[in-house]
Amino acid sequence: MVPFFRIRSITIASLLLLLVSATAAFADKPAVTISVPESVKAGTEVTIKIKVVHSSNNFIHHVDWAQISVEGKEVARWDFSWSNTPEAATFEREFKLVVTAPVEVSAQADCNMHGSNGAVKAQIKVTE
């Protein structure tokens, strides 16, 4: 005869495994979009906005980090952890930049379980 505590332990372990499997089945890599002006006058301060969409942000499965790069150099980064997850499945971050020449802006985010879709890019042109 199997003791009650062993049956309870097996049941709890099975439920946790099912929960983790179900989370993975509906999981995805974070999708990132960038919002920047198409063109500005030289010397203008612009706000770079990124929107990150991820199916889950809980202590098991969450966005690990999000970042913005300008001309290939990281200029802003937000790190998350199991105890400091993003505020929602969809969240936004901003970074201010003074544009003096045409620039390429890129952004990406990473899931702690599934990785990243890679960087998305946008261009800001400079007008006279």
Domain boundaries, the chain: 28-127
Give buried/exposed letters for 86-101 (b at 16+ CB in 10 A, else e): beeeebebebebebee
pTM of the model: 0.77
Give CA–CA dist 39/5, Å, rounded. 67
In this predicted model, what pLDDT tens digit does every residue of 37-66 receive, in sequence order? 999 999 999 999 999 999 878 888 899 999
In this predicted model, what pLDDT tens digit does every residue of 66-96 receive, in sequence order? 999 999 999 999 999 999 999 999 999 999 9
Residue 14: band (very low, low, confident or very high) from pLDDT cuts 50, 70, 90: confident
Q: Which fold has domain 28-127?
A: Immunoglobulin-like (2.60.40)
